[in-house]
Every structure is written in structure tokens, then in C-alpha cells.
Amino acid sequence: MGEKWVLMKTAQTPTNIAVIKYWGKRDESLILPVNDSISVTLDPSHLCTTTTVAVSPAFHQDRMWLNGKEISLSGGRYQNCLRELRRRACEVEDKEKGIKIEKKDWEKLHLHIASYNNFPTAAGLASSAAGFACLVFALAKLMNVKEDDSQLSAIARQGSGSACRSLFGGFVKWIMGKEEDGSDSVAVQLVDEKHWDDLFIVIAVVSSRQKETSSTSGMRETVQTSLLLQHRAKEVVPKRTLQMEEAIKHRDFASFAQLTCADSNQFHAVCLDTSPPIFYMNDTSHKIISCVEKWNRSEGSPQVAYTFDAGPNAVLIARNRKAAAQLLQRLLFHFPPNSDSDLDSYVIGDKSILKDAGLEGLKDVEALCPPPEIKENAAAQKYPGDVSYFICTRPGRGPVLLSQQDLALLDPETGLPK
Ligand SMILES: Nc1ncnc2c1ncn2[C@@H]1O[C@H](COP(=O)(O)OP(=O)(O)OP(=O)(O)O)[C@@H](O)[C@H]1O
Ligand SMILES: C[C@@](O)(CCOP(=O)(O)OP(=O)(O)O)CC(=O)O
């Protein structure tokens, strides 16, 4: 193996948002949760990670570049994923290029990894979920790992818990498992993305000045101090998970919305029950909840579900396009862009919904009337600048390999970033 060949694979992997939250570990190093969780995978056209992985006898060490900058792979989470994958790597042969890698060679060969998130990293948009899922998926293909996607999810889980759910599209359940070695703590697909394709998702990226507590340290403090977490994990989530699975199976939006909102609120209640208390939502998050609650109540049945992760951003799941258009009218009434931004950069992703909402320019936003359910003048206030931007998207598919060479992030000759 003296030659200077480079073998590469490129994959694209979505992010996901939990509707039944994972919060709390029973094993910190294997990343084993205290309860099951359920998520919806988001359309990778709007939020995804692309990762190219390469192997070559010419590489002297494992190296990784994230969004163009070299980062260290020495952290335990990266090391655990790499070790688990190398252990399962199989023989690879590329007859065209005259390359043959034996199973035992993988222990000695080094890897180059380049990854790019098409959305802000570490901004509360679950970059670690898409990122670790993509790393594991791409390397498993390069190394000819024979395990199925659920088994791969148990490796991604060791990078970041929520990453295990990004190995599938549609609705996904992370089964907490019982085994001490974590072998049964895996993700499974409940239904694919076509099962409930009426749903439409709007993410309000809320401006936030404070530095937040990371999920990892936040959930550690909750496990150590919150009694409410024990009640949640033992009594609430097991029943709620079953109800959520039924709601998804039958496309029962009323139950789905009720369970999603209740679980988000309980997760934030558990954060508040932590000592010292953790505040992830801010005033803007609270205003969005109140706007959705008022509208849902006035309609007599839920039009939109809200859920918030470890940060102030709102993920709003509308029952269909019509509800999403009406939601956007309400959101843009209360949270118009600052005078210096334009609608095109303020609402991104699947912009076609703007047309449904009759919003083709800033003039239309300025002309919006207060939502009819608002009775008091005080509730019809506008807060320009409180939302940074909106992302419009839908439930989406799981990871895929990209075959086009031009989408690779590493140079096929040198194995270095392009
Ligand atoms: N594309 C990627 N490939 C591999 N690792 C990544 C990638 N993107 C992010 N990460 C890892 O995830 C870390 C960011 O995770 P963090 O939990 O702080 O933010 P987030 O996932 O964007 O937000 P949140 O968990 O609050 O939703 C990065 O520092 C990096 O270690
Ligand atoms: C609030 C959450 O988003 C928490 C996600 O936590 P992470 O998966 O980021 O934490 P680690 O396992 O420590 O990496 C809820 C969820 O996604 O289920």
C-alpha cells in the first residue's frame, strides 16, 4: 500500500426536532438517556450537513475541517465514533482505481473529514445532531460497515444523543434501551416523510444575546438536582410516547399538537426545576407561545404546535399549508423585520408559503391587520428585530450519499479541503 490514492464518500444528513424531548442521561460516556424520545426530521434542502470523508495511505493523521476551519478530533465523542466505526470496518475494493483495503488495514489508515452545515453551527439549530449523524453515515459507507441504520444510530448517539434520530427521515423514535452497554439504545423510524406530508414547519430564529447553557451540561445539572425530571421520565414520558405514536400513525393533529406543546413546556419546567434554574426561552419565545395559544383556542382546534429546544428559537409545526400561511401572517404582524432588512432574507427556506400568505414584499407586511382573535389593543403590539429570521420547511428524508464529484468538500487528488 505505498501508492498515493485517495478514496472518498460524500453524504448529506438532515437535522431533527424532538416532539417528545430527550433530557437527561443515565450514562454520560455512552450517552444513554433516561427516557425515550420522538422527533421529526427536517427537510435537508433547508437545514442539513454535508460531509466528505476520505482515506489514503498518504494521510499521516486523522484530521477534520468544520465549515472550512480545522478542528481537533481529540474529544471523546469524536474518538468514540471513530473507534466504533473502525471496529466494524470491512474489506473495500475499487477495481477501477486498483485499490484494495483489507479489514485489518483500517486500524492503521488515517482519515480526512470535511463538513459543512448550511445553517448556523451551535446556534440552537441542532448542528451536532446533523453533524454526527453525517459523520457516522459517511464513514460507514466509506468503510463498508455492514450494520443497518439503527445500529449506525447507536454509534451516532455516542457523538451527540439527538444525532441518533437523524439517521432516518419522517418521524423517528429513540428507544432508551435497558442494556448497560447501550446496544439496545437505538433509533427506529416510525413513519417515513411521505406519511404525513400536509405538515409545514416554520422556525423562528430568535435573537439572543445571552450565552446559553449547553444541552450536555444543562441536562447533567437537571439529573443531579431535579425531582420533577424523575417523575417526568418514569410517569409522564412512557405514556406520552405511546400517545404520540398513535397520533402520528393516525395523523391526528389535535392530539399531536397537544402532546408536542405539553412536552416542550414540561421540558422547560424541568429546566426551571434544576438548581440553579436554567432559562432557555426568553420574552420573545413566550410571546410566540401566547400568540399560538390564542389562535388555537379561537379556532376551537389546534392549527399549530410549538416546541423549543435548549434555546429561545421556536419550531412551529402547522397542520397544513393554509395554517402555515395564516401563521406567517400572525408572526410577521408581531415580529416584522428591522427597517434595514428585506423580506427575501427575513423569510428563508421554502419561500413559496409567502405567496400563499399574500406577502410579496415589505409593503404587504406593513399592511397586515392584527389577528382577529386579539381583543385588547395591548396584545396587538409589534416587536421589530426580536426575531432574526424565519426558516420555512417541511418534514424531510434521511441521510443520502451524494454521487456528484463537484459536491465533495475534499480534493480527490490531495484529500485536502477544496
Ligand atoms: N457538521 C458537523 N460535523 C461534526 N460535528 C459537528 C458538526 N456541526 C457541529 N458539530 C459539533 O457539534 C458542536 C455544536 O453542538 P451544540 O450542541 O453546541 O450546538 P447545536 O447542536 O448547533 O445546538 P443545540 O444542541 O442547542 O441545538 C460543534 O462544536 C461540533 O463539535
Ligand atoms: C433539548 C434537546 O435538543 C436536547 C438535545 O441534546 P443533545 O443531543 O445536544 O445533547 P448531548 O447528547 O449531550 O450531545 C432535546 C432533543 O433533541 O431531544
Cβ count near 43 (within 10 Å):
21
Cell of 389: 429570521
pLDDT tens readout for residues 109-118: 999 999 999 9
Q: Which atom of ligand 2 is nearest to the CA of 21?
A: 18
Cell of 367: 399592511
Residue 347, pLDDT above cutoff 90: yes
Q: What angle do CA 378, 382, 384 make, to 5 degrees?
A: 155
Span from the CA of 160 to the centroid of ligand 1 (angstroms)? 8
Question: Which ligand number lies closest to the CA of residue 14?
Answer: 1
Q: What is the mean pLDDT of residues 17-31?
A: 98
The reported pLDDT for the residue numbered 125 is 84
Residue 13, pLDDT above cutoff 70: yes
Percent of the chain surpassing pLDDT 70? 99
Pocket of ligand 2 contains residue 124 by CB under 6 Å: no
Collapse the DSSP code of 172 into the 3-class scheme (helix H, G, I; strand E, B; otherwise coil) and give the result: strand
Residue 146, pLDDT above cutoff 90: yes
39-53, 59-73, 111-125: range with lowest mean pLDDT: 111-125
Model confidence at 148, pLDDT cuts 50, 70, 90, reads: very high
Cell of 39: 422527533
145 near 84, Cβ under 8 Å? no
pLDDT tens readout for residues 272-327: 999 999 999 999 999 999 999 999 999 999 999 999 999 999 999 999 999 999 99
Domains along the chain?
Answer: 7-193+403-407 (3.30.230.10), 200-393 (3.30.70.890)
Pocket test for ligand 2, best of 158, 173, 174, 215 (most atoms within 8 A of CB): 215
One-letter amino acid at 159 equals: G
For ligand 2, atom 2, name the residue with the nearest CA.
Answer: 309
> Shortest CA distance to 41 belongs to which of 126, 165, 225, 151?
165
Q: What is the mean pLDDT of residues 40-61?
A: 97
Span from the CA of 117 to the centroid of ligand 1 (angstroms)? 9
pLDDT tens readout for residues 226-248: 999 999 999 999 999 999 999 99
Span from the CA of 159 to the centroid of ligand 1 (angstroms)? 10
**Complex ipTM above 0.90?**
yes
417 near 411, Cβ under 8 Å? yes
Pocket test for ligand 1, best of 51, 128, 308 (most atoms within 8 A of CB): 128
Span from the CA of 370 to the centroid of ligand 1 (angstroms)? 38
Pocket test for ligand 1, best of 52, 127, 132 (most atoms within 8 A of CB): 127
Inter-axis angle of helices 127-142 and 149-156, nearest 10: 130
Span from the CA of 166 to the centroid of ligand 1 (angstroms)? 13
The pairing of beta strand 48-56 with beta strand 32-33 = unpaired
Span from the CA of 409 to the centroid of ligand 1 (angstroms)? 18
187 near 399, Cβ under 8 Å? no
The pairing of beta strand 110-117 with beta strand 63-66 = parallel
Q: Which atom of ligand 2 is nearest to the CA of 77?
A: 14
Residues in the chain, total: 418
The reported pLDDT for the residue numbered 40 is 98
Pocket of ligand 2 contains residue 278 by CB under 6 Å: no
Q: Say which DSSP state 70 is in.
A: E
**Pocket-forming residues, ligand 1, beta carbon under 6 Å:** 49, 66, 115, 117, 121-128, 131-132, 135, 214-215, 309-311
Question: Which ligand number lies closest to the CA of residue 133?
Answer: 1
Span from the CA of 8 to the centroid of ligand 1 (angstroms)? 23
Question: Which ligand number lies closest to the CA of residue 217?
Answer: 2
Task: Say if pTM beats, i.e. exceeds, 0.90.
Answer: yes
Mean predicted lDDT score pLDDT of the chain: 95
φ/ψ region of 176 (left if φ > 0, alpha if ψ in -120 to 50, else beta) reads alpha
Q: Which atom of ligand 2 is nearest to the CA of 37?
A: 18
Q: What angle do CA 296, 297, 299 make, to 5 degrees?
A: 65
The reported pLDDT for the residue numbered 2 is 53
Pocket of ligand 2 contains residue 31 by CB under 6 Å: yes
Span from the CA of 162 to the centroid of ligand 2 (angstroms)? 5
Span from the CA of 239 to the centroid of ligand 2 (angstroms)? 21
